[in-house]
Amino acid sequence: MKKRYWLSVWILLFTVGCAEKSTPWQWQLPPGFSPPPTPADNPMTVEKVTLGEKLFFDPQLSGNGTQACASCHKPEHAFSEARTTSIGSTGEKHFRNALSLTNVAYNATYTWAHPELKTLERQILIPLYNENPVEMGATQQEIKILQRLQNDTAYQQLFSAAFPQTSRLFTMDNTVKALASYVRSLVSFNSRFDRYAYYGEDILNDRELRGLELFMSERLECKHCHSGFNFSLSTVHAGTTSSVRGFHNTGLYAEQSAVEFDRGVFAITGEERDKGLFRPPTLRNIAYTAPYMHDGSIATLEAVINFYAAGGREVSDGKYVGDGRLHKNKSVFLHGFEITEEEKLDLVAFLLTLSDESFVGDK
């Protein structure tokens, strides 16, 4: 990714003086695939993606200048993180694990549990301005942040190239649009599964194929929540919308009385039926994105399989004691299942075929 950035910068610096039009972004997708949705007021261009990439990795974007987007969304972890939950620029601990950004532009909704958040441009405002807890800490720091960027010669060139017909270059709106463009560009379709499913290569071995069959089976029911080309029920592409309410309670916790307990979608809607509901994330690049679940409370893929085989879990000690398997909102698809140790190996083998080494390498 860094190599791509510096090559793009060189091209931009060479051409910016005479450029009148932006360069349309060219999607690298499997045959017949549609690109993700793109807002009419923020079309994808090479110049905006290049600017957004630099901003994404730059701690100057945080209020105190210490944290970048990439501090929590690390390329080597498929733009997720190895921490259980994130830590903001002021040291405050977040209550959720940072989601992978793999194919994030295809999401129907954003964050773990917000049914009304449907564009990257709106989603990016949350880590920038969130105050409970503080993440990037941009609230009331916009002038300071923009001044830092404006004082950087590279940014002067990059903003000019990204927004060639804009009188005010250094604005938070332009910054967000560039960030959204870069994050929207993070597509991953170069896994062994992709080569098997979309390019016709006979590349999966017997164990992996058995794992695929298990994944698609009614016994395990994985496919009901992790469906489609992005292995997530919450998926759209250009020209489509999603009418599916893509949130589920997996029986991770019993309902709690603690004020700080994370109730998922309920925090947005206030509806009883939404207690404990979260969006199923993509399974693409799942080998790189441990720990798992919205709070990072399950460490390995093998432990995740055991959790679903049990139909949820009972927490016997600690802060949130109770039997999540008995939660009244638990998904009807989470009824538990019998699975042998050999079948677990098969299922993990299949999940590993969703790894795209080119996506996490050379970033």
pLDDT in tens, 213-263: 999 999 999 999 999 999 998 889 887 766 677 899 999 999 999 989 999
Annotation: CATH topology of 2-184: Cytochrome Bc1 Complex; Chain D, domain 2 (1.10.760)
Q: What is the pLDDT of residue 10?
A: 46
Element containing residue 247 per DSSP (H, E): none
- The pLDDT value recorded for residue 354 is 98
- Yes or no: domain 192-360 corresponds to CATH 3.90.25.10: no
The predicted structure's pLDDT at residue 17? 44
Q: What is the pLDDT of residue 77?
A: 98
- Specify the pLDDT at position 243: 60
Please state, as a whole number, how many other Cβ atoms lie within 10 Å of the Cβ of residue 179: 23
Q: Does residue 59 have a cis peptide bond before it, meaning omega lies within 30 degrees of 0?
A: no
**In the chain, where does the domain assigned CATH 1.10.760.10 lie?**
2-184, 192-360
Predicted pLDDT of residue 4: 53
pTM comes to 0.93
Alpha-carbon dihedral 46, 52, 55, 57, rounded to 10 degrees? -90
Tell me the residue ranges of DSSP E strands in the chain: 314-315, 322-323
**Which pLDDT does position 234 carry in this prediction?**
85
Longest dimension (CA), the chain: 67
Write down the residue that tokens 């309670």 correspond to.
249
Distance CA 275, CA 259 (A): 13
Spell out, as residue ranges, where the chain has pLDDT lower than 70.
1-20, 241-243, 362-363
pLDDT at 20: 61
Confidence (pLDDT) at 245: 76
State residue 240's pLDDT score.
Answer: 74
